[in-house]
Structure 1
Amino acid sequence: MASSVIQGFTKSLAMTVLSEIGDKTFFAAAIMAMRHPRRLVLSGCMTALIVMTALSVLVGWAAPNLISRKWAHHITTLLFLGFGLWSLWDAFHDEGESEELAEVEAKLDADFKANKKGSKDGNKDDDDVKKHNRSILLQFLSPIYLKAFSITFFGEWGDKSQLATIGLAADENPLGVVLGGILGQALCTTAAVLGGRSLASQISEKIVALSGGVLFIVFGIQSFLSTVVV
């Protein structure tokens, strides 16, 4: 039992870190943290990612109860191999990172300018944000927190990392998968908020994509060679 938890944890952690660095939500968190209080951006993004990870693991855990464990295992194997090839394909298209960053920046710039037009309301919200003694409940109702949450949650919905987490949870210990996924998301999101733009510029997107692709393929081969526990 302990070994299966550790295996699920390490697989989920490695997969999450390599999938999320340079991801669209990674850039979104980095850009938002430059314009708004970091604690609100970090808490909003992390809440969304924890909810998303928990939901994904729940779906993956329930999958073998909806379809046979044998089919769940085969689907998981195909997912890993498919995502591995997808990541390797992305690795040889260098423009992927700059296009994704430009897309996120353009969207957030449009939102930022739209918010500035309502200066009175915006200034009032900014004043509220700067009150460090506000209750935790009011912080969760902050427009910045809600924006960080919604952008991250819907940005991750249907993403490669979410589908991979579902597949991993169907084949590994769900507790290990959720703990590894949350830790991986926490590391990536914290790095994005504290210095995502500079970090992303120093890390080669091609190397990250290649590493992720190789990791997915290794998981797929391991899943293919392993026996199905019915």
Structure 2
Amino acid sequence: MTFSILEGLTKSLAMTVLSEIGDYTFCVAAILAMRNPRSPVFAGCLASSVLMTILSVLVGWAAPSLISRKWAHHTTTLLFFIFGLWSLWEGFTEDGDEDELEEVEEKLAAQNANLRGNGGKAKGSSKADDDSKKQRKPFLTHFFSPIFLKAFSLTFFGEWGDKSQLATISLAADENPTGVVLGGIIGQALCCIVAVIGGKSLASRISEKVVATVTGILFLVFGAQSFISTV
């Protein structure tokens, strides 16, 4: 393994773990694993995270082809400083440590209530209507379990446009893409394992302020290292 791959892997791994622990998608995996079988929850969350990581790295890898390498490097440096200050601001202004967990629980409870309401209306329908609904069953449910699809979709759309995704794009534009992909996948796998096994207990105990502060410092270190390095 070359030094550039190792450097990209280390940065991506550290950034992913710190960004995802206690995050929205971490809480989604933790709560779903408490109410459903763990295997499809883990598979859905991990598959979504891996896909998101690969897409983000591809975007970052293609960036130097669209703009000059010099401008891509300077833009990445600037983004690291922005993400660092953003995370520090969140760490110093965060009011509660369980806001993310409570928000996810409320959203999942609302979804379950809607499903129960639709199920109650369906009880009064005829057998022909039930057979018609089965025929209109979503195509993907013939190949994947509903729990897998729920975990996958909640994780994917929860990560889309998130700070961790933008940071991965920036990192891939300035580091070895292979290392960034490997580090991101390893970090996502570790976070998914922790979330599925005992994530809710951990999420209710860790301090979001501490995580945000450490993440901010890490981004600032990445920014400083990128600033003093050559293109």
State the TM-score bracket (shorter-chain normalisation). Answer: 0.7 to 0.9
TM-score by length of 2: 0.87
Tell me: CA distance 1:115–1:138, structure 2 relative to 1, closer, same or farther (3 Å): closer
Does the 8 Å contact 2:17/2:187 carry over to 1? yes
- What percent identity do the matched residue pairs reach? 68
Does the 8 Å contact 1:140/1:146 carry over to 2? no
SS in 1 for 2:155: helix
Q: Which residue of 2 aligns with 1:43?
A: 43
Q: Which residue of 2 aligns with 1:15?
A: 15
Residue 167 of structure 2 is aligned to residue 164 of structure 1: yes
Comparing 16-25 with 98-107, greater Cα deviation is found at 98-107
TM-score by length of 1: 0.88
Which has more radius of gyration?
Answer: 2
Distance 1:104 1:178 in 2: 27
Q: Which runs of 5+ in 1 are unaligned?
A: 122-136
Distance 2:143 2:184 in 1: 23
Tell me: CA distance 1:37–1:91, structure 2 relative to 1, closer, same or farther (3 Å): same
Number of paired residues?
213
Does the 8 Å contact 1:139/1:145 carry over to 2? no
Q: Which runs of 5+ in 2 are unaligned?
A: 123-139
Residue 160 of structure 2 is aligned to residue 153 of structure 1: no
> How far 1:101 sits from its partner (Å)?
1.9
Does the 8 Å contact 1:60/1:169 carry over to 2? yes
Amino acid corresponding to residue 188 of structure 2 in structure 1: Q
Give the CA RMSD over aligned residues.
1.8
Residue from 206, 211, 223 that aligns with 1:208: 211
Distance 1:98 1:10 in 2: 29
> How far 1:207 sits from its partner (Å)?
1.4
Q: Which residue of 2 aligns with 1:141?
A: 144
Distance 1:120 1:49 in 2: 35
Does the 8 Å contact 1:49/1:152 carry over to 2? yes
Amino acid corresponding to residue 213 of structure 2 in structure 1: L
Q: Which residue of 1 aligns with 2:185?
A: 182
